[in-house]
Structure 1
């Protein structure tokens, strides 16, 4: 009788095994020698997603630890309120430190609730150590970590990851602890960086000037989150500096996310005509109509996605219709309040590139699902 591994080519088995959760990969490796060789090869582990909630019970030694050298892009999920889950996450990050050839990409995602007064030092210390040894790291995404990120971590990334291409620090935290000085050092140390996510308070005029320098590699994406008191107090960045950045990088797209913490006067400082805003997400406690009208009049050439969380009103409907008439390049619009039929008609008729929308004419149970345009 032929061994199971002889029934399919190795490349086909690898394609199957890479989609299996860790326990199933481990089980496959015990079937026969051929399956064991395929289940532990680099093609299976190059891009890996791991959930610490259900997959790492007793998995790290010996099966997983023998495959870590092959992991180049890792998406790691854990639940900070569960000790076993966060312990597994920190152990895995520690085990990855100093591996050869090492990680190229790391994305951390927290699930569930964060315990009160939890600074996440165990997880952040593990990330800090990994960044100090991961010289080949190119992509680091910490947007879904609920802990305050600090200057020490950013400076460690600047010192340890010179090949970095993207870094996202715009997480949901109540305190902005990354200063503009450390961001400037990061930009100087990582000349190939092309995508960056920050809280608004972490950005400075000097950083924008560094990004616009003639010798800078093409810079493509900047995500700015305005969600903590430091962001509300951040001074405006000059329009001429934004204009210089856009001239230097004509393909630059900026994503702005404005949260309820921003008072009206801060919103007017953030929404500047010269910023090439491609995505605008509004979840304000005050006026939303004004920002929507501003976007319609100043971001018509660049806006590709709009998300609005506000109370329904005739004024908001009128502002949305104006935006539909001016922003023909829109691909997504999501409004989480009931709108009148003319709003839906305006976007369907005026935005030929529209691919998905959330525009409800009657109140429905949440969560609201977007409609895809064929």
Structure 2
């Protein structure tokens, strides 16, 4: 390959190439020797985003295959309903197995239509293999996987990734199969976890006790999703256990997502006064005004974000006005039903830190866009 005159220094080219998608990096590496050297620089690959639907065509070319050793943080996108896209994601993950020094962060993100029920086994099998050898992994985010996660994966993470600092297993599936015993083993093994996302049924009283142990790293965020039939049958987590956890981790923020599968009785069991709820997302088929009133009474000191999907009613409007008056630190409120003008006025008057809101006074065509506060 001929060298172009007056070419840019390698470090400058590397800074440019690190913003290119995988396919364009491959093209750049074939221009000349200088570009090939820059494209193979570790700076280019430290943070890598790959879209398997549009970029990945077979294996990496030999000139770039070795660059996977430099990938520390990987964001991998694919379409689970399309077999070629899943196969590409699986192939790339398997390429990363056993690499040194290995991944520090892995985020899997799905797009497109929902897949068939059992179509994620190939991808999940590759995730198993990565976690088996990823001793340096610090961050694992599986929230955007539509596949059912199970105990085997939780235990593999526990045994293979002891240095984890953040883990999200609260993915969007209606079937929960991660039992509290496997999650308890995970918490015992991964003592540096500061951020954790789970389904409600995966959390237990014993797990709260382990998280409150004096020798653990500070817990910053606990994200709980309550959406499956298993969540409705989960044992109650006593308020005393939440109080102990809150005392041990005074900066802890809890994100609580309650979906339609939960009946009113279950919602009352979940909403304990001592839970430091910072974000509350309600998408309930039953009473919504009651949980909003509860949040106004007990979560005012911590609540920063509220999202409500419900039918419009006078009771809900009254509850929203009460919450606005009680939560001056609120930064976002998004209500996906029509509200009366007094509700909007209440949030604008009582919440000086409000950054954005969705409070529609008349029906509009969806999707509803939030309003930014100047």
TM-score, normalised with respect to structure 2: 0.97
Residues 11-70 of structure 1 show CA distances to partners (whole Å, capped at 9, x for unaligned) of 332222111112211111122222211112111111111000010013524354221111
Residues 100-158 of structure 1 show CA distances to partners (whole Å, capped at 9, x for unaligned) of 10000001111112333325111111100110000000100011111111111111101
Aligned to 2:26, the other structure's residue is in SS state helix
Aligned to 2:66, the other structure's residue is in SS state coil
Distance 1:59 1:22, change over 3 A: farther
Listed as ranges, the matches of 1:193-342 within 5 Å are 193-342=193-342
Equivalent residues of 1:209, 1:241 under 8 A apart: yes
Equivalent residues of 1:176, 1:228 under 8 A apart: yes
Aligned to 2:254, the other structure's residue is in SS state strand
* Equivalence for 2:48: 48
* Equivalence for 2:75: 75
Over aligned residues, Cα RMSD in angstroms? 1.4
Residues 144-182 of structure 1 show CA distances to partners (whole Å, capped at 9, x for unaligned) of 111111111111101000110011000111111001111
**Unaligned runs of at least 5 residues, structure 2:** none
> 1:357 Cα shift?
1.1
Distance in 1 (CA, whole Å) between partners of 2:236 and 2:271 is 9
* Equivalence for 1:159: 159
Number of equivalenced pairs: 373
Equivalent residues of 1:5, 1:35 under 8 A apart: no
Aligned to 1:330, the other structure's residue is in SS state coil
Equivalent residues of 1:5, 1:34 under 8 A apart: no
Equivalent residues of 2:22, 2:49 under 8 A apart: no
Distance in 2 (CA, whole Å) between partners of 1:82 and 1:192 is 37
Distance in 1 (CA, whole Å) between partners of 2:22 and 2:281 is 36
> 1:365 Cα shift?
1.4
Equivalent residues of 1:18, 1:44 under 8 A apart: yes
> Which range moved further: 154-163 or 20-29?
20-29
Aligned to 2:265, the other structure's residue is in SS state helix
> Which range moved further: 364-373 or 67-76?
364-373
Aligned to 1:106, the other structure's residue is in SS state strand
Listed as ranges, the matches of 1:141-180 within 5 Å are 141-180=141-180
> 1:7 Cα shift?
4.2
> 1:289 Cα shift?
0.5
Aligned to 1:67, the other structure's residue is in SS state helix
Distance in 2 (CA, whole Å) between partners of 1:132 and 1:300 is 43
Residues 55-94 of structure 1 show CA distances to partners (whole Å, capped at 9, x for unaligned) of 0013524354221111100010111111110000000000
> 1:8 Cα shift?
3.4
Aligned to 1:87, the other structure's residue is in SS state helix
2:132 counterpart of 1:101: no
Residues 293-314 of structure 1 show CA distances to partners (whole Å, capped at 9, x for unaligned) of 1101110001010000011112
Distance 1:39 1:6, change over 3 A: farther
> Which range moved further: 191-200 or 346-355?
346-355
Distance in 1 (CA, whole Å) between partners of 2:162 and 2:127 is 16
